[in-house]
Every structure is written in structure tokens, then in C-alpha cells.
Structure 1
Amino acid sequence: MPATPGRLAAGDPAPDFTLPDADGNEVSLAGHRGRKVVVYFYPAAMTPGCTKEACDFTDNLEVFAKAGYDVIGVSPDTPEKLAKFREKESLRVTLLADPDRAVLNAYGAYGEKTSYGKKITGVIRSTFVVDEAGAIEHAFYNVRATGHVAKLLRDLAV
């Protein structure tokens, strides 16, 4: 199945990025070379679906780590909002801020989508598995917040 224009597919190089985390420290994808990385994009910290997804990733962080995966969440929120989100929900997953949406756009995770029957422009909830060499191994667009982490673990046979 051909990739939708602007979307990434298995085998594509993962766009590199450096973004601030919840503490304002710079985190780059290149810094994770040699390990597999799950990069997930979500619309907004402290909303019900995004909270469920972030808590599910946090609850399964050891499972991912034992299988050789690092997990990074990216949203258009500010580092300050991410810090509040992390504190409020006791999150241990790395959360990165992309307020100008450059990384979201590079991954095709920002654009037109349907929400409650209306076409809007926003973050397309998406997850990418990047291999040790920096290539896309899996690209999942329009994922559901609830149940996504469990499905991802099954898909990765972890």
C-alpha cells in the first residue's frame, strides 16, 4: 500500500530532531542510535485521551525497555505544561515539546483530520517505531488513545 503524501512508511529514514523535554533539556533522536525508539505524537497534555495514552506508556516502560525500546512522546505543548502533566500523572516517559510543530509536520503527524464528524487541522495521533540505525520500522497513523499501547506491544511481539 503506497504511503499517503507527507506520511512516512517502513524503510523511510526517520526525520532527526532535537526538542526540549519537560525540564528544558535538549533531547535528540540521534542520541538514541543503537536502540529502537517508539516515538508517539499526541494532541495535548492533560486531556483525557492523551493522559490515558501517556499513563499506558509509563505503565509499560519497563516492558519496552527490556525489549530494547526507548519511548518518547511529542506534543505541541510547552515544556512547562509537560512538566505539570508529568507531575500530575506521575509520568516516567520522556515528553518533548514541539510548539512550532516542525517535528509533527516532518512525521506527517499534523494536518487535516476528522474529529466528531468535522474536518479540522490538528495533531494526528501517530506512533513510529524507529530502528537502531534511524529508519522507520513501523508507522501507525490515526491511532486510538485507549488500547493503543497494548496493540503496539502485540504488534511488536513484546
Structure 2
Amino acid sequence: MNRLQANDRAPELVTRDFLGAPVDLQSLRGHKVMLSFYRYASCPLCNLRMRDLIRGYGAWAEQGLRMIAVFQSPASSIATYVGRQDAPFPIVADPAMVLYRRYRVEQRWTAMLTPSVLLNAARAMKAGMLPGRVEGPANRIPADFLIREDGVIDVPYYGADAGDHVPLEQLERWLGAAHRAAQRASA
């Protein structure tokens, strides 16, 4: 499967979040968007990442960022696990994996037991994020897409292992560069 590349138009995303609210990537034109694909709703690594994103979202939203998170679990599992964190951005249930296929999110067994996965799993469990039922492919690898205001993918980030997402420092550099460019354009 060929990965999406920088400068590809972001594939269509029209759905509902796990609470039933509409989610449409097209409606976010004019904003920078981080679209993140996760494994299953009770995945400790995924919940740890969501916690970090929720904590930073306020500052990033002030810079014009919008986020959408996608899980391969049904809405009921999202509500039970990751939904308890009360994210200020939509969380989409995609148990049929339509969006995963559209965005070419991968599966790979070799990326399951890397040292970083084991270290982050221990960190997540120490924070009380215990694994639950695996829904969907257990060997799913996360992916993040940083999408420009015009709906074009600027940074496609396909994880190297089961806990690998675009580093938050890279997200902040991307937001800062986009913010500076917008200021120059309006000056």
C-alpha cells in the first residue's frame, strides 16, 4: 500500500464523532488540522498520547490548530476508555476501518515489541491506563497527518512502532512556522 505524501490533498473525511456530532474535514478549511489515527480505545499507549494532546490543545488551538482523533473501536468502547478524558476535539469511531484504508494507515507485527513501546506501555500503566479488550487489528501502527489550511497534507507521519506519533516538538515547530508565514502574508 502506497503511503500518502506531502502535498497530497487530504482524502475526504465526513463522519460523526463517538457522541454523534458531525465531523467534516472540509468544514475545517482555513485552519491547520492534525488528524491522528490510533489503535483501539483501551490501548494504554493511545490513551497516554491522548492525555498529552488534551493537555496541550488549548495553546495549540490559539494558534489555529484543530484536531480529529480516529480509533478503530466502536463508539461504546471509546466512551468507556478514551472518552473519559473529555477531549476538546472530536474522537471518531471507525470499526469498519474505512478511514484507515483511505489514509493508508498500516499494520505491522514487527513494530509491536520495540524498546520504546515497552517503555511507553510501562509509563501509561503507571499513569493508570491499563489495557483492555483489543478491537480491530492488534498490530495497527498509528499515523498523524498535519494538514494545511487549504486541505493539503503538509506532514504525513506514519509511526515506526505501535506507540509512535509525530513528536509534539515537531507539531509545535510546524504550528510556529505556519503562524509566522501567516503573519508575513498579512503584513
TM-score normalised to the size of structure 2? 0.71
**Kept in 1: contact 2:42–2:82 (CA 8 A):** no
Cα 1:143/1:28, change in 2 over 3 Å: farther
Deviation of the 1:148 alpha carbon? 4.7
Calculate percent identity across the aligned residue pairs.
24
**Kept in 1: contact 2:71–2:95 (CA 8 A):** yes
CA distance in 1, matches of 2:166, 2:5: 19
RMSD over aligned CA atoms reads 2.4
Moved >6 Å (runs of 4+) = none
Q: Which has the higher helix share?
A: 2
TM-score normalised to the size of structure 1? 0.83
Cα 1:105/1:23, change in 2 over 3 Å: same
CA distance in 1, matches of 2:64, 2:50: 19
Partner of 2:156: 139
Aligned amino acid, residue 82 of structure 1: I
Partner of 1:129: 146
Q: SS of 2:50's equivalent?
A: helix
Aligned amino acid, residue 38 of structure 1: M
Listed as ranges, the gaps of 5+ residues in structure 1 are: none
CA distance in 2, matches of 1:7, 1:147: 15
Listed as ranges, the gaps of 5+ residues in structure 2 are: 115-136, 177-187
Equivalence map 1:63-82=2 (5 Å): 63-82=59-78
Deviation of the 1:55 alpha carbon? 0.6
Deviation of the 1:141 alpha carbon? 0.7
1:96-149 alpha-carbon deviations (Å, 9 max, x no partner): 1111111111111133352227xx874221110111111101011115647855
